[in-house]
Structure 1
Amino acid sequence: MRLLHTSDWHLGRSFHGVGMLDAQRDFVDQLVACVQERSVDVVLIAGDVYDRALPGLDVVKLLDDALVRITAAGAKVVLTSGNHDSAVRLGFASRLLERGGVHLRTRVQDLDVPVLLPLDGEDGDGQKAGSGSEASAAVLAVYGIPYLEPRLVAEELGVDTASHFEVTKAAVGRIREDIRMRSADAAIHSVVLAHTFASGGITSDSERDLSIGGLGAVPLDLFTDFGYTALGHLHGRQELAPNVRYSGSPLAYSFSEAAHRKGAWLLEVDASGVGAVEEILWEAPKALAVLCGKLAGLLDAEEHAWAESAYCQVTLTDSQRPAQAMEQLRARFPDTLVLAFDPEGAQARSKKSYSSRLSEAVDDLGVCCGFLDHVRGRSAGETEEAALREALEAARLEGAEL
């Protein structure tokens, strides 16, 4: 049996003002092709399916199309909700969807209700342990832990302290107990989906903090005794332990992810348990370029030719901010989306307060030029200085007439 671990689709998200639905449709095409070509039996989606709790109609349609195509290709889907999703809305019609092979795990009460997949090729169900159903020799039990907001679920999970650690520990405890009960009748191999921040994970700028000050992180050892834990939330694909991994987002959602290799994990599972884990890579629709330097160098250097077709984040280091910098950059790099300035000598300049600059001005023209330099990081040019001088002279004459 083959399982494909994905997460953080963030359908409906934009990238610095650029809509990404077409790129997300391209990802779905690649995903469906992978399901068909690699004979994937189950697609795991570990939360943040949508980018917001109230997705647009075209976004909902994209997920609908994706689920239809995945199941039509012969794979089941196990899906949990993330901190960007509305668990109630995403979980709507879950019992009906389950008949079509889409298993939603968005409610606390379903934490210990696994999707049972007999490893002899027969179909399984999600009945609780002790139901009297005949057990297979080896069964894969797939559990889903949605994003758990501590203040909202602490009472339901029976914990006194509303913290990410305590609620996750309680959720994992319920799953372990269900596995223990089922193990009396069958060899149970477990896969757990969890949308959380596990200790040791590397973050990106595009993730929403789960709590303030890093207190949202939960210990890695909560998950290491499962056959495999498919984590969601962090957007970089990474291995925290051989059996605990983040698949990351399928697309880059910030320039901090420019060096990421986006993809998923393909798991091989048989009667002996989870075996090989293979990386699957998605082709990015557009490269990301993070450029830094003086404007003239960026516009002329051949080494940056590859970035002409990329989304660009540019930091200019010119000692003074060039005029019409964005317009000049977009003449070569049309998809420059972010422009920042880190001028040489900026630290020395920043030590001088605006009031101290004013005290150094010898006349009104000096005050005006100093203000212009302060607010835009570039001193007045000859034309600008002449215009300011003319305006000051006109004001002086008008005042004299009064």
Structure 2
Amino acid sequence: MTRRIVILGGGTGGTLAANRLQRALAGECEITVVDRDDAHVYQPGLLFVPFGLAHQEDLVRSRRRQLHDGITYRDCGVDHVDVEANRVHLAGGAELEYDVLVVATGARLVPEETEGLTGAGWMSKVFSFYDLEGATALAGALRDFEGGRVVVNVVDMPIKCPVAPLEFCFLADWYFQERGIRDQVQLTYVTPLDGAFTKPVASRELARMLQEKGIELVTEFNTGEVDGAAGKLISFDEREVEFDLAVVVPAHGGAECVERSWGLGDALGFVPTDEHTLQSKVRGNVFVIGDAAAIPVSKAGSVTHFEGEVLVRNVVRYLAGEELDASFDGHTNCFIESGFGKAVLIDFNYDTEPLPGHYPSAVGLPLLKESRLNHLGKLMFGWLYWHSLLPGRDLPGVSTAMPLAGKRFELR
């Protein structure tokens, strides 16, 4: 009997998992991908939209067209999953039964969770670039901005691509210099973290970059309210940061269909997952990839890419009744755009924080250092995303496990 694999989500994780599984199990399984629409957005590109460096037509393609032949695509919302009955209930009442479920539902923005965020000033002096609508509206606001205080605020963790707010600060510094008004703009980065980033060595380096670029850093600020009318952020301990223009990264949660599925998600709507096998802790036949997984790793596209090989291997092993591969090490790497045609690259995993050196070996891209080469690498990733990562191909020289060669461990 042909076994059925259902994948919830046609974003990065769902698409690359489907394509890899189709190649590994061609003819042995029916693979169905479900998502609420047919618009696949290249999310790393949203950062560039406010600065006029990318546009909607550059970033959006058909989800269906990214899937290999033989994969069924259902353009439909998901109501909930019955993990006891191995059944997905679709919006409208249809059902899909499965032998293996892959949850790739990502993370969603929940701006309504922060008092005042979507109230007065929303989309006029308070914006977010984490979706296409917000990024496009922000582009207009930046064009019209003539001076004052621009505040970039992360409301809470976890968020998709934790370095993106820092990148926005660096690009804003470049953008206002290009416009000749940088001396009339005060840039402030406001974060709930106790530093610029979560890892000590990288946090020190990124804080130094903020200081050199004249960007104020406000730490341990837990935003409780955004008062758009008065132009200020208010923390839960009643500290205030005033702004003329606020760029806010809202709190994130898991997919609503996960929240509606009894026993599937945690309190935030993410799925408890084994951090090394990517098998859910809920049921043995449920696997999780990308931002939907409740594991101690950044919610970033590179993580999803590195998870793909291990997840597919383990779905195949599960169907064969074999022991699972516990080799996923939390590998993450991120290009941090720093403006003026340069970028910083960081590479780390569960056990090793971002360190100086080179990637992927002693001869390669410089780590924790601004360079033109890293900027070109970030730009090249856009092409690789559509033509290699989503189709489920391995990237030459890029392994799932974090490489140790080239890193300077003495600086930990």
- TM-score strictly above 0.5: no
- With the length of structure 2 as denominator, give the TM-score of the two structures: 0.29
Whose relative contact order is higher, 1 or 2, with alpha carbons under 8 Å and at least 6 apart?
2
- With the length of structure 1 as denominator, give the TM-score of the two structures: 0.30
Larger Rg: 1
User: Is the helix fraction higher in 1 or 2?
Assistant: 1
